[in-house]
Amino acid sequence: MELQGETHSWLTHLKAFILISHINGQRIKTRKRNIAVPLDPATFADAVVQIYLDNAGDLELVVKSIESSDLDFSRYGDTFFEVIFNGGRTQPGTTKPDEGERHPYSIIDCEPKREVILPSVIYIQKILRRKPFLIKNLENVLRRFLQSLELFEENERKKLAIFTALMFSQKLSGLPPETVFQPLLKDNLVAKGLVLSFITVFFKEYLVDNSLDDLISILKRGKMEDNLLEFFPSAKRSAEGFSEHFTKEGLVPLVEYNEKKIFEVKVKEIKSALTTQIAEEGDISEVTETVKQCVKDTKLPDIEIVRILWDAIMDSVQWSGKNHQQNANSALRKVKTWAPLLNTFCSTGKLELELMYKVQIQCYEDANLMKLFPEIVRSLYDQDVLAEDTILLWFRKGTNPKGRQTFVKALEPFVKWLEEAEEED
């Protein structure tokens, strides 16, 4: 009875206190019950490892167990991918294993073969579909591992390269290519040749199931399309070194692509320099020497030089809006002025014919020049750039279809004049 009386008295005082507090505007904080204590990263890692062990590494079962678990993946996403890659938690900021449970089914522990690593990629893909917010954690861990390639054994680096290639091959949603390529460009990793070794395996594995165009697309998105030599140590960083290395590795299409890129860069640089000189009305003899030096330095074929020269001359024309007559006069004046330059390098009938095709295509594609085709051809003939035989050959047997019927008809009067002059001779 005394105990009941004391309890009743205590409850009475508590109610009075709550009432007074409410009247004074104070809020009473009550402790929530049954709140689980948040896991720390080590305990979280152990829990994920246990899921692997309980399911004997069967990734289908692991996915189901993870789905039904109450683990806080949003808080410990990085730790989750450490367990996938390394079999357990790694020491903060490193790739070294930390204390705690480990499982033997990680990417680092498996064989360095695509058919062995592919299930792990598909497994991660399933996890990301269910928990897309984890993509950022995958980026974090992958970036850290790639920046620490020197801490892995050669075989482990190969596994990472195969995994990364398969990851893009399987189009793992949301992972930007720069996540892979940019971390690799650490000077010490490049200097040791580790990056070149990694990227070579990556290229070879990716191209097993994908085209070169697909690879180039990834490189573009990763901002590496024009910087492939940055993967090479400085001693091997040359076009020759690139060709030698990837030819030896059986990646001839990649070598051909790179050579084409280098060629395009050279052409662009030469064209830009010549356009500037011609626009500034430079001395023809000086421009001619510039072109000869370019030919010597770059070893560009004669036919490409002719194309570059024509483009540079046309690019230097100052077009004046809708005044067609003024545009026509400007273009014809440029052709007449720089005909001696063209004449120097159009040294064979084949090169003259190539120049005619170049004029044909540009007149077809450029509204400013569409009606000028016969006048340009006539001017080039008068300046001894195009021979009569070349013009007649183009007229009778030309193979480029772009605007051909229109231009043939437009050139008929001039051709007729040439044929009559030939008969008189």
Look at residue 91 in the predicted model and tell me its pLDDT. 80
368 is a domain residue: yes
SS3 for 348?
A: coil
Mean pLDDT by 10 residues, the chain (425 residues): 46 46 43 46 91 94 91 92 92 76 92 95 93 93 92 94 94 80 91 96 96 94 89 93 95 94 88 90 88 85 93 87 77 92 93 95 86 93 94 92 92 90 62
Domain stops at, among 202, 226, 250: 226
SS3 for 344?
A: helix
Look at residue 343 in the predicted model and tell me its pLDDT. 93
91 is a domain residue: yes
In this structure, the answer to whether residues 277 and 200 fall within a common structural domain is no
Look at residue 80 in the predicted model and tell me its pLDDT. 95
Q: How many domains does the chain have?
A: 2
Look at residue 331 in the predicted model and tell me its pLDDT. 87
In this structure, the answer to whether residues 197 and 99 fall within a common structural domain is yes
In this structure, the answer to whether residues 264 and 119 fall within a common structural domain is no
Q: pLDDT tens digits for 275-321?
A: 998 988 888 999 999 899 888 888 888 999 999 999 999 999 887 76
326 is a domain residue: yes
d(CA 81, CA 137): 7
In this structure, the answer to whether residues 187 and 274 fall within a common structural domain is no
CA 15 centroid distance within chain: 71
Query: For residue 131, what is the DSSP state?
Result: -
148 is a domain residue: yes
Say if CB 29 and CB 68 are below 8 A apart: no
d(CA 419, CA 401): 23
d(CA 386, CA 257): 34
Spell out the residues 6+ positions from residue 107 whose beta carbon is closer than 8 angstroms to its own. Answer: 84, 85, 117, 120, 159, 160, 163
400: left (phi over 0), alpha (psi -120 to 50) or beta: beta
231 is a domain residue: no
> H or E stretch including 242?
helix 239-248
> H or E stretch including 379?
helix 373-382
Residue 386 belongs to domain spanning: 260-424
Look at residue 322 in the predicted model and tell me its pLDDT. 67
pTM: 0.73
Look at residue 138 in the predicted model and tell me its pLDDT. 93
Look at residue 238 in the predicted model and tell me its pLDDT. 92
